[in-house]
Chain A
Amino acid sequence: MLEIRNLHASVEGNEILKGINLTVKAGEVHAIMGPNGSGKSTLAQVLAGHDAYEITAGSVRFLDQDLLELPAEERARLGLFLAFQYPVEIPGISNAYFLQAALNEIRKSHNLPELDAMDFRELLNDKMELVAIDPRFAERPVNEGFSGGEKKRNEILQLAVLEPRLAILDETDSGLDIDALRIVSDGVNKLRSPERATILVTHYNRLLNYIVPDVIHVLVNGAIVRSGGKELALELEEKGYDFIREELVAP
């Protein structure tokens, strides 16, 4: 589904991604861990198509297309979804209005009929119930004045409505209470299907107890330095990232 080869990206002349290689197959869940500032969010933003980053080398294929050739909105229409580490606030535009517009843009690109306000509202109500969000949030401006956890939940609501093929969750678990964490995990587990995949960026094993990933990757200084199963997360928790850094400098 997703194949990243030797991806290099820089911002304002500073190289941040230094040769990422990562293959995610349909049906899989991958976790990416790594110290602060190692480039996890940069990778996520580059995949979503943020134009602040310059791609200096490498390639990314997504669903048999050259992802890096596509503008951000076409990546989203193709089925790529990024749950932002820091979702932005959009004053003046209600959650419902925003999501209806988004869903219809995506549907249009697949030659599906647009949903009218009534049909959309029905769908939205179902999804809000699914992710346990107060129905009143439908009328509130997107993320405006939401608490940190509410913003994360709202990202999950969007995920549930847009039903992407590949979901990248950038620290969606940070700041979530126990109930919300379970809801997010349930949501991701429900999306687990042979034609979907998920990349979880996280700092915490806690999440990985709910969503058991197929592979865990460790990103340090712009490159994936280790990949492994669940035991890698336990090892990291025990020893911190230093042991990997030490291994790296060791001959």
Chain B
Amino acid sequence: MTEMLDTAQPNKAHYLSAVDTLRRGSYPAWLAQVRQAGAARFSETEFPTRRHEDWRFTNVAPIITTPFRPLTGPEDWNVSVSDLESVLFGTAGWTELVFINGYYSAALSRIGSLPKGVVAGSLADAISSGNKLAEHHLSVRRESGNVFNALNTALLQDGAFVHLHAGAVLMFPIHLVHVTTGLNEPVAANPRNLVVLGRDAQADIIESYVNIGAGAYFSNAVTDVALESGARVHWHTLVNESEEGYRLGSTRVNQDRNSAFRSFAITLGGKIVRNELTTVLDGEGAEATLNGLYLTGGEQLVDNAVAIEHAKPHCTSWIGYKGVLDNASSAVYSGKIKVRRNAQKTDSRQLNRNLLLSDRATVNTKPLLEIFADDVKCTHGATVGQHPKEVIFYFRSRGMNEAMARAMLTYGFADEVINQIDIEPLRRRLDRAVCERYSPI
């Protein structure tokens, strides 16, 4: 039975007809080409089944078989600021760019205090105003990602565009808020974000993926990040989709020499969620620190696919992802570290730790090393476990009962990731979310 589902290649017609609709609009020639390349790749690449190594434990059949309506332009989705109260948590000075189904909403956004040399707004605006940097970054990359990335490129229209000129340093975070809402009709949103940090620029970026309203929807986001030499970014991806929400998201980073990418991928909700994060350490001395936390329950499936390519010598990378799984939920983790032949003196570590709160929950974890250089330091590991009995007894010997011990330990396990976030309003918010979820005291 599953075999049949696996082998079926459902119709791509509704997506391809959206591509056609876009083709009839007026766009710069380069963009038409980029979309065309995306569309070609989308048509020729099969949707993944569980026979594809990268998707073995992530069955995307529900996403493929639901006839989500792809969008070809902004519509009136009737979202007001009050709908966003719970997702806009920035304080004075923050820039909060709001996107509804991938389209920038100037009315819902606010531009905070930005230093000179910083552009933060809509990618569609950047394209229509002939921004050369946007053109360059969107055309230079040959679409090589998975079929969903190709779909995103085929339907590339809008999303966030952030550019920091050389030396620009943000004093306040930029928050990209992606809301998917279908007015009770299943829509497919394809937000496309482009973030470019010039030489020695520094920024705190948050991207949130959330939902308003009821019903199934598909958020298929692609974010491209380019860090020029010496640039540093603290990147935060918050996924809090609804119980019926499907999200496939890819963040693709390219790092020049001495740049630093430090990220937190936090997944709190969604029916099926896959967060892909890849970075190429493409200049000596580049650093990537990728933290992750996924908290799952119900019958959720959360997949984090992380990949780091050490393309140049003397780069360091650290991946630390943690998961807490409850009920009959499942999580997938894969961490691929590839060290190219000339990438000597690579220092790379990765650890994936999972806490199972229920014996119906499952984890598939797969840290992978592919090393072609000989002078490298690489370690990797994965654990799946429960709270140790001796630790629980220690709590009890201090007057706390077992339920409280477990709650506190779970909170502590998750909070170890949250505590490393240095944007206070964000850290406090997540700390509260974790605390409420496992309600210790």
Q: Residues of A at under 8 Å CB distance from B? A: 48-52, 71-73, 75-77, 81-82, 84, 87-88, 90-93, 97-99, 101-106, 109, 141, 158, 162
Contacts and interface: CB of A to CB of B under 8 A. Distances in A.
Nearest to B412: A92
Contact of A71 (B396, B414, B441): B396
B391 A162 contact: no
Nearest to A100: B441
Given A90-B412, A92-B412, A82 B397 contact: yes
B398 A162 contact: yes
Given A73-B401, A105-B400, A106-B399, 8 more contacts: A71-B396, A73-B397, A73-B400, A88-B394, A93-B412, A102-B395, A103-B399, A105-B401
B243 interface: no
Nearest to B401: A73
B166 interface: no
22 contacts: A49-B396, A50-B393, A52-B389, A72-B393, A72-B397, A73-B402, A76-B398, A82-B397, A84-B394, A84-B397, A91-B413, A91-B416, A92-B411, A92-B412, A92-B416, A93-B408, A97-B408, A99-B398, A102-B395, A102-B399, A102-B400, A141-B412
B353 to A, nearest CB: 10
Interface in B369-414: 388-391, 393-402, 404, 408-409, 411-414
B404 A101 contact: yes
B125 interface: no
Contact of B409 (A48, A75, A84, A93): A93
Interface string B205-216: 000000000000
B440 interface: yes
Query: Which 8 A-B residue pairings sit nearest by Cβ, starting from the closest?
Result: A92-B412, A72-B396, A76-B399, A102-B398, A93-B412, A105-B399, A106-B399, A92-B416
Contacts of B400: 73, 101-102, 105
A92 B413 contact: yes
A50 B388 CA distance: 14
A224 to B, nearest CB: 23
B396 A87 contact: no
B409 A76 contact: no
A105 B409 contact: no
A81 to B, nearest CB: 8
B431 to A, nearest CB: 12
Contacts of A98: 398, 408
Q: Is the interface of B mostly helix, strand, loop or mixed?
A: helix
A91 B395 CA distance: 13
Nearest to B440: A101
B276 interface: no
> Which of A48, A51, A105 gathers most chain B CB within 10 Å?
A105
B415 interface: yes
B439 to A, nearest CB: 13
Interface of B: 388-391, 393-402, 404, 408-409, 411-416, 440-441
Nearest to B400: A105
B410 to A, nearest CB: 9
Contacts of A72: 393, 396-397
B438 to A, nearest CB: 12
Nearest to B410: A92
Nearest to A87: B394
A71 B401 CA distance: 9
B397 A49 contact: yes
A81 B398 CA distance: 7
B397 A90 contact: no
A65 to B, nearest CB: 15
A97 B93 CA distance: 33
Contacts of B390: 88
Contacts of A102: 395, 398-400
A90 B396 contact: no
A218 to B, nearest CB: 26
Nearest to A45: B393
Given A82-B397, A87-B394, A105 B408 contact: no
B394 A76 contact: no
Given A72-B393, A84-B394, A77 B412 contact: no
Nearest to A90: B391
Contacts of A106: 399
A90 B409 contact: yes
B416 A90 contact: no
A93 B402 CA distance: 16
Contacts of B388: 88
Nearest to B396: A72
B193 to A, nearest CB: 32
> Which of B395, B399, B416, B440 gathers most chain A CB within 10 Å?
B399
Given A88-B391, A105-B404, A158 B412 contact: no
Nearest to A161: B398
A73 B412 CA distance: 20
A48 B391 CA distance: 14
> Which of A75, A97, A141 gathers most chain B CB within 10 Å?
A97
A77 B388 CA distance: 22
A135 B70 CA distance: 58
Contacts of B409: 90, 92-93
